[in-house]
Chain A
Amino acid sequence: MTLGAVVFGQAYTLGWGLVASCLAAVVAAGAAGVLNGVIIAKGRITDFIVTLGMLSAASGAALILADGKPVTIVDTFLLKLATGGIGIFGWPVIIAAVIAVAAHGLLFWTRFGTHVLATGGSAEAATATGISTARVKIAVYTIAGLLAGVGAILLVARVGAAEPASNTSFLLNSVAAVVLGGVSLLGGRATILGPVIGALLLTALTNGLTLLGVSQFYQPLAVGVVVVLAALLTRFQK
């Protein structure tokens, strides 16, 4: 996501225009996702190592591209995107809702979604039934990358700048939201509503602690405790 944000910033300052810059951000993040997927699927390497390596490589690439400096982006459309909306629902909320509904449809109402769940449940069984698990893996990492690019655009709109070194909390928190949402640690089980509720819970937690005047240094501690407790609870899922 940091890479996407920086690519956005660089493209924008090069005068690419807003649409092209947004596309560049999504494509860059998507490409990182494709690379992740190909290495994991074809190289048969544990995903954790590959994504950890990609995290470091992409963060480094972002720092190199931006020369370590944040780029301020002043754009009336982005400002409206970040501040406007319908009623109490800001545009980012509406975008997130549309993406969540689309993801739900993709995961549960399409053949591809069934293949994803089958691959997650048992890659060997999925292969035996004729599913190309390598293709499924590449596809899911591409989806994750593309959505990271969308997240980057929303972040740039919110912050008003593309920063090469930030947002480390998003990494743990997105994993945390998924775990909180009850997506099985053993694979094969997932909902979209669960992680959405998990994300809302984490946001409510940090927001509430801030309102109560608790130092923000306590927030990662609270998130960590909540996530491990949630992971323990998933042991009892049927």
Chain B
Amino acid sequence: MTATAVLPHKKTNRLTDLGFWAEWAAAVGLVLLVVVFQILNPTFLSSGNVASMLVAAAILIVLAVGQTFVGPPGASTCPSRP
């Protein structure tokens, strides 16, 4: 909101722009985790493990999509917040 708009965002270099990293935090974090885990344990990206990870994530994805509409607790639907 206004508080974030006041923050200086004058730099045009994307790599030093925190906003850019904040925008893609989840994707960058996921890629980093996958690379680190794959180096530490080569079975991480085996098709069997990827398949079981996807199935394990499926329930969480369904729930998270539902949660998205509501917004995080104490956030968007709180009527007292402008």
Contact = CB atoms under 8 A, between A and B. Distances in A.
Contacts of B64: 174, 177-178, 181, 195-196, 198-199
A28 interface: no
Contacts, number: 238
A46 B30 contact: no
B77 A137 contact: yes
Interface string B15-32: 000110111011101100
B62 A151 contact: yes
Given A96-B61, A100-B65, A199-B61, A120 B79 contact: no
Interface string A74-108: 00000000100100111011011001100100010
A131 interface: no
B82 A122 contact: yes
A120 B69 CA distance: 9
Given A144-B69, A170-B63, A180-B25, A212 B55 contact: no
Contacts of B37: 204, 207-208, 211-212
Interface size band for A: 35 or more
Contact of B26 (A47, A48, A148, A230): A230
Interface in B1-60: 1, 4, 7, 9, 18-19, 21-23, 25-27, 29-30, 33-34, 36-37, 40-41, 43-44, 47, 49-60
Interface of B: 1, 4, 7, 9, 18-19, 21-23, 25-27, 29-30, 33-34, 36-37, 40-41, 43-44, 47, 49-82
Interface of A: 1, 40, 44, 46-48, 51, 82, 85, 88-90, 92-93, 95-96, 99-100, 103, 107, 116, 119-124, 137, 140-141, 143-148, 150-151, 154-155, 158, 170, 173-175, 177-188, 190, 192, 194-205, 207-208, 211-212, 226, 230, 233-238
